[in-house]
Amino acid sequence: MLVASRQKLSTFPEIPSFSINDHPVKQVSSMKSLSVHINQNINWECHIQNICKKIASALGAIKRMQHLIPCNVLINVCDSLVQPYFNYSSVVWGNCGSGFSEKLQKLQNRAARILICVNYGSNVNELFRALGWRKLKYQRFESAAVTMYKSLQGVTPVLCLCFETMQHRID
């Protein structure tokens, strides 16, 4: 995958081809690594669309069960099926832009309304207080702060990629 901005990619007369030991490397415009979808422009559209689909599907199942299962069990189901999508690797994709953040926040709002069994016009701030939830932007901020703290304290894994070594291997 050739990673660059959309504008930079448009300046290439043709997309360069790569090979390793005379074997061509297949060119892709997006890929999935550790359940994070990355596209060549790194704008997170593919990843956000993917997790929105999964969250919406889980919320649909929870909504169908809401009249059959006690509220505390539904909250546990939501915490198990939905919340991990909001949090997983958010340190990487969390600065995805306001449009994508709003899509995710609407899904969290929808989850709160389903769990409390209220209509669309209900104030989500009150629902969040009742559920003990925080809005996603605060969750992502806290996650980034914890990661930064751990990094400064030297308790995170060290990733060291030497560009010169990688370049030598490609040549």
pTM as predicted = 0.77
% of the chain beyond a pLDDT of 70: 92
Predicted confidence at residue 159, as pLDDT, reads 59
Q: Does the pLDDT of residue 126 top 50, yes or no?
A: yes
Domain boundaries, the chain: 1-42, 44-170
CB-count exposure of residue 139 (10 Å: 0-12, 13-18, 19+): middle
d(CA 95, CA 93): 6
- The Cα–Cα gap between 109 and 24 comes to 47
Neighbouring residues of 44: CB distance < 8 A, sequence distance ≥ 6: 37, 93, 96, 97, 100
Residue-wise pLDDT for 57-113, tens only, equals: 999 999 999 889 998 999 999 999 999 999 988 888 888 888 999 999 999 999 999
Q: What is the pLDDT of residue 49?
A: 93
